[in-house]
Amino acid sequence: MPESTRLAPAPTDFELGAALAAGDAGALGDVYDRYGELAYSVALRVLGDPGRAADVVQECFLKLWQNAARFDASRGSLRGWLMSSVRNRAIDNLRGRAGHERSELGLAELGELAAAGSADDPWLEVSAALEREAVREALASLPAEQRQAVELAYFSGYTCKEIGEQVGVPVSTVKGRLRLGLEKLHSYLEGRGLLDDR
Amino acid sequence: MIADHHDMEELVAAYVLGALGPEEARRVRAHLAGCSSCRELARRLGLGAAALALAVETVPAPPELRNRVLAAVQGIPQTATVRPVGERPARQGAVRAWRWRPAWKGPAVAAAAVIAFALGGGLGLGVGRAAFGTPAAPPAAVAQYTISGSGAMAGSGGRVFDLRREQVTLIQFSGLPTLRTGRVYELWLIDRQGHPQPGAVFAPEPDGSKLLLLGRNLDGLSALAVTDEAGPGGGAAPTKQPELLGKLA
């Protein structure tokens, strides 16, 4: 029987992280090829400006390179770290914050979706597309006021006070909407087996 | 104390999203350090928050950005501090679960098409676990889907013809890599809860094609997938993530 067609399996995120930590600049290219478009899309969604979005992506990949040896794969995924970094830097950029005035827990430390990007899942592109669709549907399933509050906080970096002023409700109401919104997102994604709920 | 804990609970979501002012954030951080239930809440809510990045519509990055990024790290030293890298999760012999559970509401992946085709001679029929029916005369209408390959099967694909009335399904594969000795391709029928059921096992033709005829239509299914498994009969559950996958409307 003729030899089967064999293609080299794509490195896992865990392997890419290890390669980055070992100073393999080629691995950074692999990470960019895998997550660069998503990173750019997140930055663009926050900033609305292609030039500023590209600058943020470049800064975050540089930060990833510089700090690769400190990345702890047991506390979060490479993708989670990168997207958290991009979102935070974009928000800082949007809000005119010079430094990293981050007041929340690093999102990447809090877990990650189980499919694309997880250390032991070799099936990336197909599951990533399905995963993104599931997340969009999860967000669309939220009541409008919860979705609005979550999006204003996540994509625009507004505080509860600012959100309350924008939509004309008390701060306590905003806090409740954020909690209910994130609870529902978690339940929706967990119900579809998409969360690596370690 | 209890009132204070409840107050803190209400702030955790806002804290996770960075929507608190500095003083409130500091109070929540201090509370989390000593409250395991709120830390667990923060972890749960953080999973939902972390997913939000995936909700954006993807936009192609400027082509030159890749070179910019790689050029930017040239000669830049990495931080010397090395922390222990987490243990790689142990692989399990079989897939723990098919962790993707696509929601099948929403727009169809492929439009239904009206086709007419003749089933001529020379069909290489797979050994299907479903009973075969005899296809009726060429149907007036069928639902058509596409199966796409990725990874090692990036060059493979399939066209699916769902003959609902006749209760048969025709799948025409192309570009299938040759299998190693002792292996077979297994078709999985994935229900709406994401559970894969064995559908058929088959080996490709020398040119990488294969025509499968299933004795059922695709009602109640959300996707079709193919993996290569141990022959001759495949298995009751997939042992790997699929690299050939087709979503059904």
Query: Which residues from chain B sit within 8 angstroms of residue A154, using beta carbons?
Result: 17, 49, 52
Q: Which of B44, B45, B69, B74 is the mutation pick for testing A, counting most A CBs within 10 A?
A: B69
Q: What is the pTM of this model?
A: 0.59
Report the distance separating Cα A140 and Cα A148, nearest Å.
10
Report the distance separating Cα B197 and Cα B211, nearest Å.
20
What's the token pair of residue B16? 């996770």
Pairs of CB atoms within 8 A across A/B: 317
Q: Residue A134 — φ and ψ, nearest 5°?
A: -65, -40
The confidence score (pLDDT) of residue B115 equals 32
Chain A nearest C-alpha distance from B126 (Å): 19
What's the token pair of residue A65? 């390179």
Query: Which residues from chain A sit within 8 angstroms of residue B99, using beta carbons?
Result: 114-115, 121, 127, 193-194, 196
Q: What residues contact A165, with CB distance under 8 A and at least 6 apart?
A: none
Tens of pLDDT, residues A3-36: 444 445 667 788 888 888 888 888 999 999 999 9
Test A10 with B25 for CB contact under 8 angstroms.
no
Domains in chain A with CATH codes: 7-116 (1.10.1740.10), 129-198 (1.10.10.10)
Test B20 with A159 for CB contact under 8 angstroms.
yes
What is the C-alpha end-to-end distance of chain A, expressed in Å? 44
The partner residue sitting opposite B13, judged by closest CB among A124, A182, A195, is: A182
Report the distance separating Cα B127 and Cα B212, nearest Å.
9
SS3 (DSSP) at A125: helix
Query: Which residues from chain A sit within 8 angstroms of residue B155, using beta carbons?
Result: 5
Note down pLDDT in tens along chain B; length 249 residues.
Answer: 555 888 888 899 999 999 999 999 999 999 998 999 999 999 889 888 888 999 999 999 999 999 999 999 888 888 755 444 443 433 333 333 333 333 333 333 333 333 333 333 333 333 333 333 334 444 445 788 889 888 788 889 998 988 888 888 989 999 999 998 889 999 988 877 677 888 998 999 888 989 888 888 898 888 899 998 888 888 888 888 788 888 886
Amino acid letter for position B206: P
